[in-house]
């Protein structure tokens, strides 16, 4: 059980940081996408 937590812990942190990167990337892209939709 403790071994699973040791593996899941770091990988979850990596996943969370990737998710944050994707969210910020999409937030930066959204104004550009809105401009394309306006045309």
Higher pLDDT, 24 or 3: 24
d(CA 39, CA 33): 10
State the pLDDT at residue 34: 73
- Where helices occur in 1-39 by DSSP H, the ranges are 2-38
pLDDT digits 0-9 by tens, 5-25 = 677 778 888 999 999 999 999
Total-model pTM: 0.52
Q: What are phi and psi of 15, to 5 degrees?
A: -60, -40
Q: Is the pLDDT of residue 3 over 70?
A: yes
């Amino acid at each position: 059980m403790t071994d699973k937590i040791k593996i899941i812990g770091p990988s979850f942190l990596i996943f969370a940081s990737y998710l944050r990167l994707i969210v910020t990337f999409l937030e930066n892209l959204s104004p550009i996408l809105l401009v394309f939709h306006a045309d």
